[in-house]
Amino acid sequence: MLSFKKDKKPSTAKFKLSYIAMLIVLVLLAISALPNLYPNKSWLHISAAAHSETQSLPSTKTLVTFLNNQGLEVEQGLDKQSTINVLLNEPTKSAQAQAAIKAQYPNTQVKVVEHATSPTWLQNFGLSPIKLGLDLNGGVLFVLDVDLDKAVDEQLVSAYQQAKSIIIKQKAHGVKAQQTQHGFEINALPNATDKLTPVIEELQSRFANLAVVTSNNGSVKAAKFSYSEQGRSSFDKEVMGQTLTTLRSRIEELGITEAVTQQQGKHRIRIELPGVQDPNEAKRIIGATASLGFYQLKEIGGQTFNMQSGGTIKLDPVPIFTGDHINNANIGRDDWGKPLVQLSLDSQGGDAMSAFSKANIGKPMATVYSEYSQNAKGEVVKKSEVINVANIAQHLSSRFSITNMKSQQAAADLALLLRAGSLTAPVTIVHEQTIGPSLGQENISNGLAALMLGMGITLAFMALWYRRLGLIANVALILNLTSLVGLMSLLPGVVLTLPGIAGLVLTIGMAVDTNVIIFERIKEERRQGRAPYQAIQEGYKQAANTIFDANITTMITALILYGIGYGPVKGFAITLALGLLTSVFTGVYVSKILSQTLYLKMGKKAGVKAHA
């Protein structure tokens, strides 16, 4: 009797420790799942537009009355210091309200912002509900194709132009640049070979990714410039990174807060704009390629540009500074009421401008507006136009304005694009999708209904078929769903889509498999005459191998699906993969402990009964 107790103790201690660890994991995941009971609400944030001259924010009361009159009933209107926050009765109409307010009060900025409604202690932990994909939330999707080949060509042409101007600047007589099929080359006559090296060095300091191959062609020394494979890939990376940054800040300028902007594949960018209903404005701004550069006029060796007013002009191919150095741009009107764009430069641009204008008072400076557009053949071409040439009247600093804008809209767009940065490579929209908010809502409720039904059938079946063990399976199943939802809320980058919900439903159906395999084993062991507790031990042990085999193949396909699929399909793969993890965890480990505890207690009770 004593020896029995001695044997028992360590195993109970071990069992208790794993019990506690598992309990902690389950509780943590359950807490992470909690915020999903409090879905986010979309509020409208109305503030005075940053670049507007008049601080014309309507009073909260006026705004609420206006919205109510439009049939957009307001549930709550809050007056925060500089913004008005409004919650509509039907938050799906936020986009409609946003458009209405913008039309009525043009000098305001309206943003749709998601507010968490979960208790503050949950928010303090940094916990939030699962992010919903576009098909559940409603919104606009764009996939952009970035024309990297075009960007490389542009870069090579620009390098060639700059090479020519470097040669002139360095007075390297006998050195000549000329374009070739895959780039350009610089040739040096025998008496000028020593002048070639500084030109190459200067050029390489400006274009780090360019590869140089020097060769002697008879007595002529030639340096060929082109993109090596490595240089090209780092250039591509740079361009994609820059494009992403620019697009993100443009979307921010548009007042869209929850956007997802990410690279998809090698040369695509995927932009998801939840809550947006009219893709046209977003499309015009996102796809715009306009950029601005300021150039010095050049009589000799310059590059020829077209004038907007007609005719051509020769300019130094190296700009004094470009739109990249613009800190802020606002629209305004000149003395004659024509639209203009006021610029303020960053310190680098300011210095360049200051130095240049000081040395060139009385001389002209040209503003070049460039844009990519599709020609009749559908090819992307760059169009550069000189929009104005003005004499520098005085020593300019970091603030000045560009006049001669075509329209108010053109000025507003240019100001926005200058604030957000320009794109180095042309982009085209290859995939565009708009999902109405009501459809998203319908998808959610349909998906949830399917989940409930599937879950209900499974729970009922397990309880009827396996009775007591079935209850354990059902507890494991519910824990599985909670853990899965908790895990999905916890991991960043996991997005729930409609196929994702289908994956969730499937996981429920499949998760019982683990328990079925184990329970059938246990039954078999019982038939072979083992005691209940031993049969359970043996059943779990024997089934482990099979379960591992069966789940790993599904895991392989889920991972491949995740690696290759996009958007909704990726959502399905994530749910599938995480579901496998949680179902093995709850189905094998948690339910093992549950059944052991259950039978241990029952065994004790039975023992007591037997004694009595």
Partner 1 sequence: MLNYFLKGEAGTRLRFMGMLLSAMLVLLSVFTLTQKGLNFGLDFTGGYLTEFTTSQSVELKELQSFIAENHNGEFELTAQGNSHFQLREAPSASTTANSLDWQSAVTQNDDINAQVLSSAYIGSQVGDELFDQGCLAMFAAMIAVMIYLAVRFEWRLALGSVVALVHDLILVLGLFSLLQIEFNLTVLASLLAIIGYSLNDSIIVGDRVRELLRVQSNNVLSPATIINNAIKSTLTRTLITSGTTLATVASVWLLAGAPLQGFAIALFTGIVVGTFSSICIAATLPELLGLSAKNYEVKVDAHTQTLLNMP
Confirm or reject binding of residue 95 to partner 1 (CB under 8 A): no
d(CA 159, CA 169): 15
Cβ proximity to partner 1, 64 vs 518, nearer residue: 518
Closest CA to 219 of 198, 186, 185, 192: 192
The correct pick among 274, 447, 486, 579 for binding partner 1 (CB under 8 A) is 447
Closer to partner 1 by Cβ: residue 368 or 511: 511
What's the token pair of residue 242? 């820059």
Min CB(508)–partner 1 separation in Å:
6
- If the CB atoms of residues 241 and 509 are measured against partner 1, the closer one turns out to be 509
The least CB distance from residue 529 to partner 1, in Å, is: 17
The nearest distance, CB 137 to partner 1, in angstroms, is: 12
Nearest to 73 by CA among 49, 99, 93, 98: 93
Checking phi first, is residue 41 left (phi over 0); if not, alpha (psi -120 to 50) or beta?
A: beta
Residue 501 binding partner 1, by CB under 8 A = yes
For partner 1, give the closer residue by CB, 125 or 465: 465
Per-residue x/- track, 568-607, partner 1 (CB under 8 A): xx--xx--x-------------------------------
Cα 65 to its chain centre, rounded Å, is 36
DSSP assignment string, 158-186: HHHHHHHHHHHHTT-TTEEEEEETTEEEE
Q: Which stretch binds partner 1 (CB under 8 A): 45-53, 213-221, 339-347, 454-462?
A: 454-462
Asked if 502 interacts with partner 1 (CB under 8 A), we say: yes
The site for partner 1, by CB under 8 A, has a size of: 67
Q: What is the 3-state secondary structure (H, E, C) of 323-357?
A: HHHEEEEEEEECCCCCEEEEEEECHHHHHHHHHHH
- State which residue, 176 or 523, has the beta carbon closest to partner 1: 523
Gap between the Cα atoms of 356 and 349, Å rounded: 10
Nearer to partner 1, 433 or 596 (CB): 433
User: Are the beta carbons of 583 and 511 closer than 8 angstroms?
Assistant: yes
Q: How far is the CB of 485 from partner 1 (least distance, A)?
A: 16
* Cα–Cα distance list, 440 to 117, 139, 376 (Å): 20, 9, 38
Within 13 A of 552's CA, how many CA atoms are on the CB side? 6
439 near partner 1 (CB under 8 A): yes
145-164 mask for partner 1 (x: CB under 8 A)? x-------------------
What DSSP character marks residue 588? I
Secondary structure class of 148 (helix, strand, coil): helix
Which residues, numbered 337-396, are part of the site for partner 1 (CB under 8 A)?
Answer: 378
Rounded to a whole number of angstroms, the minimum distance from the CB of residue 457 to partner 1 is: 4
Residue 497: CB minimum distance to partner 1, A: 10
Among positions 403-432, residues that touch partner 1 (CB under 8 A) are 429-432
Q: Examine residue 194 and tell whether it contacts partner 1 (CB under 8 A).
A: no
Q: Could you give the string, one character per residue 527-556, with x where binding to partner 1 holds by CB under 8 A and - elsewhere?
A: ------------------xx--xxxxxxxx
CB of 151 to partner 1, least distance (A): 18
Told to check if 453 binds partner 1 by CB under 8 A, we report yes
* β-pair type (220-227, 210-217): antiparallel
Radius of gyration of the chain (CA): 34
> Which is nearest to 405 in space by CA: 316, 328, 343?
343
Pairing status of strand 183-188 against strand 427-435: unpaired
Residue 345 amino acid letter: L
Find the binder of partner 1 among 87, 389, 450, 598 (CB under 8 A). Answer: 450
Contact positions vs partner 1 (CB under 8 A): 135, 143, 145, 378, 429-436, 438-439, 442-443, 446-447, 449-451, 453-455, 457-458, 461-462, 465, 498-499, 501-502, 505-506, 508-510, 512-513, 516-517, 520, 524, 545-546, 549-558, 560-561, 563-566, 568-569, 572-573, 576
